[in-house]
Structure 1
Amino acid sequence: MKLFIRSLLFVLLSATVPLTLFAQANYRTIANYKVFYGWAHRFPQDWMIIRSFENEGKNYYLLVNPQTLETKIEEPNFYQVKPMSIHDARSFFNNTPYIKALRKAEKQSVTIQDAGIESGIPKEKGISLTADLCPSHRALDKRIFTDIFNGFNKVERPVPVALSITGIWMRQHPQDLEWLKQMQAKHEIYITWINHSFNHRVSLKAPLKENFLLEPGTDISYEVLETEKDMLKNGLLPSAFFRFPGLVSDQQLVYKITGFGLIPVGTDAWLAKGQQPQAGSIVLIHGNGNEPTGVNDFIKLLQLKSRAIANKQWLLYDLRESVDEEFEDTQK
């Protein structure tokens, strides 16, 4: 029901508001970008502050709606604000889906691969699609986005997709990034932007415990915050999610990421590895041109489900709603 209401509101607003008003502002001169926790209130909603920064002489917050996991950028003077420690902020919002998702990710932090949230609500007839944009010399695999738009256009528009993006990919593929932004501006897709680290370093020889973000000497603050800054400079809105490069982490790293207020997102269906999606799966493919097998498998899945899609019996779900509704269900 929540998904229907939000989609209806989006359609109604789209009919009367210029496209440019849906675009995220570009913050070109960011300074003092840092982790900052607190409570921000503007009737009727309480928000959790997770970042503060300056741009062209103005102060801004990155806010998370703890009930829906939606994020936004706002100026502090629009809100009643109380700075908090991370402990106090998590305690204040303790029973919300956002904090419950952080706790669940921390409980699943021991495994070295695929820690974090792996799936949404099992009862849902559909999946949440995540596509990773790791550094690559190849162009964006646009088939993913044109095919989901063509497949869902008559039953679900804009079509939700979550993209895990790296700083290096943004800098190397500005035209592909602009193409994605135009699809969103035309309400063809709706993108949840997931932080996927800045460099996404990987070694073909190092063991997993010393690979990816576990590589000795990794500056995790740079990997997280520099990516968010580049998102904002490119007009992208950072979400409350993080995906580990290679899905590799250890317990200490998971807690570092949740310390940034970010929810680690794994997968229970990496298509290129032969993992089959179930109802509520968080599906992983790569959109950076490096994994055509996974993309081909996803396109075959769309074709297989075409009749169910037409009958609204198999849909793509917004990752935020899939996660927040899971934790709302635990309260019932």
Structure 2
Amino acid sequence: MMKQLVFTIVFLFFFSFAFAQIPHGDLDNYKREWIALEENARPLIGIRSFTVMGSKYYLIVDPMTLETRIVDSKLLKVRSRDSVQVNKSLNGTVYERCFSIVRKTENNLQDAGLNFRLPKESGINLTIDLCPSHKPLDKDIFEDVLSAFKGLDSTLPLAVSVSGKWLLNHPDDLAWLKSLEKKGIEITWINHTYDHVFNSKPLVSNFLLSPGTDLSYEILANEKLMLKNGLMPSVFFRCPGLVSDRAIIEKLLSFGLIAVGSDAWLAKGQPVHNGSIVLIHGNGNEELGVRDFIKLLQTEADAIKAKHWTLYSLSEGLEQYPN
């Protein structure tokens, strides 16, 4: 009995900081929520709930900062479960602004969502996709970032879009990525679906538009796997191939997720500007994109040293972007 109590206390302590390796079987009834919550008078939105050893938890979003956390339900006050009231509670928040921005491009076949340069930024928003691959992680990307900013910035934000099939096949690479936090790299973990469906058909029948694709499963299964591996799912989502349609974007929004596109996919030769959302693949399958990114760091070396060019978090600057 005492042994079980000690285990429970230790588990909950680490889980509260989102670093626990959560056994898949211990995370039960993981499901979508859309609920207005409150923590110490601070409004929050619950987008997922689940139980661990009989205790209920929420994956919450701060609607002003877009930060996500896991919080014990006993520490939260339920303000409303009515979807209309929950939506009203978002008025004037950054979260609401993101929904509005995303809906402007939801009819795009490719690159819907946040796909633009963010204003007032001197630098880029770096996003690195990890699609399924048997090749090792391109560690050069991260090592060159650390080298370029050595002695200049204590925190270097970037985003990694991770697929479930990549996670399952790269435990050592994942451990290495997680270790980078000690060196100052702050990773925003983006859901990139569990299976990352791909076929040889045209885009209208490919990726998430492939017949029979279950988007709910792709979202929730990957989030559960991320949590199991100690990764905090962010509010962002990257569609495989950047391919979607209106129905997909609306479903993502119903799950509280913000689609992230790119205005600078380097392997496609798209130019980089200040505030660009840069896309490269770090799964060993995009040598050109990685090479172009390293060249970009070299080109901006003087600006980096002068602190005139840096890396930004995806959540920065969105409050300034016009609806």
Please identify runs of 4+ aligned residues in structure 1 that moved more than 6 A. Answer: 19-22
C-alpha offsets along residues 88-142 of structure 1, whole Å, 9 cap, x if unaligned?
Answer: 3122112211111012112211110000011352221111000000000100000
Contact 1:62/1:71 (8 A) holds in 2: yes
Label 1:304 to 1:20 Cα distance change in 2 as closer, same or farther (>3 A). farther
Counterpart-to-counterpart distance in 1, 2:317 and 2:133 = 29
C-alpha contact 1:153 1:159 (8 A) present in aligned 2: no
Moved more, 134-143 or 85-94: 85-94
- 1:250 partnered with 2:245: yes
In structure 2, the CA distance between the partners of 1:305 and 1:173, relative to structure 1 (3 Å rule), is: same
Q: Is the 8 A contact 1:269 1:276 kept in 2?
A: yes
2:63 to 42, 63, 66: 66
Which residue does 2:187 correspond to in 1?
Answer: 191
The answer to whether the Cα contact below 8 Å between 2:29 and 2:50 also exists between their aligned partners in 1 is yes
* Other-structure match for 1:6: none
Check 1:192–1:176 CA distance in 2 against 1; reply closer, same or farther (3 A cut).
same
Alignment: residue pair count: 308
One of 9, 16, 35 as aligned partner of 1:38: 35
Partner of 1:51: 48
Q: Distance in 2 between matches of 1:220 and 1:54?
A: 22
Paired with 2:211 and 2:70, the residues of 1 have a C-alpha distance of 34
Residues 309-318 or 89-98, more deviating:
89-98
Partner of 1:261: 256
CA distance in 2, matches of 1:203, 1:108: 24
The reply to whether residue 142 of structure 1 matches residue 139 of structure 2 is yes
SS in 2 for 1:191: strand
Q: 1:22, 1:232 → 2: CA distance?
A: 11
TM-score by length of 2: 0.91
Alignment of 1:94-113 (within 5 A): 94-113=91-110
Asked whether the equivalents of residues 197 and 224 of structure 1 are also in contact (C-alpha less than 8 Å), the reply is yes
Point out the more displaced range, 40-49 or 125-134: 40-49
**Correspondent of 1:27 among 12, 22, 27:** 22
Cα deviation, residue 80, structure 1: 1.4
Structure 1 unmatched ranges of 5 or more: 1-18
For residues 251-306 of structure 1, what are the alpha-carbon distances to aligned partners after superposition, in whole Å with 9 as ceiling and x for unaligned?
11111111110000000000000001111110000010100100100000001111
1:223 corresponds to 2:240: no
Residues 21 and 188 (structure 1), Cα distance of their counterparts in 2 relative to 1, 3 Å cut: farther
- Cα RMSD between the aligned structures? 1.8
Counterpart residue number, 2:304: 309
Give the 3 Å change call, closer, same or farther, for CA 307–254 of structure 1 in structure 2: same
> Structure 2: how far apart are the matches of 1:92 and 1:159?
32
The structure 2 residue matched to 1:165, chosen from 162, 173, 180, is 162
Cα distance in structure 2, aligned partners of 1:322 and 1:164: 20
Q: Which amino acid aligns with 2:97?
A: K
Q: Distance in 2 between matches of 1:21 and 1:79?
A: 14
The code of the aligned residue for 1:217 comes to G
**CA deviation vs aligned residue, 1:221-245 (integer Å, no higher than 9, x gap):** 1100000000100000000000000
Report if aligned partners of 2:16, 2:71 keep a CA contact under 8 Å in 1.
no
* Equivalent residues of 1:120, 1:326 under 8 A apart: no
State the TM-score, normalized to the length of structure 1: 0.89
Structure 2, unaligned runs of 5 or more:
1-13
Query: Using the alignment, how far apart are the partners of 2:84 and 2:208 within structure 1?
Result: 25
**2:221 corresponds to 1:232:** no
The yes-or-no answer on 1:177 pairing with 2:177 is no
| Conserved? CA contact 2:18–2:227, under 8 Å | no
Letter in 1 for 2:159: A
Distance 2:261 2:107 in 1: 13
The answer to whether 1:326 aligns with 2:320 is yes
Paired with 2:87 and 2:306, the residues of 1 have a C-alpha distance of: 41
For residues 213 and 49 of structure 1, what CA distance do their matches in structure 2 show? 25
Q: Residues 40-93 of structure 1: CA distance to partner in whole angstroms, max 9, x if unpaired?
A: 212352111111001122111001010011110000111212342444312211
Conserved? CA contact 2:34–2:48, under 8 Å: yes
Secondary structure at the aligned position of 1:321 is classed as: coil
Structure 1 range deviating more: 75-84 or 265-274: 75-84
Identity level (%):
48
Aligned residue for 1:276? 271
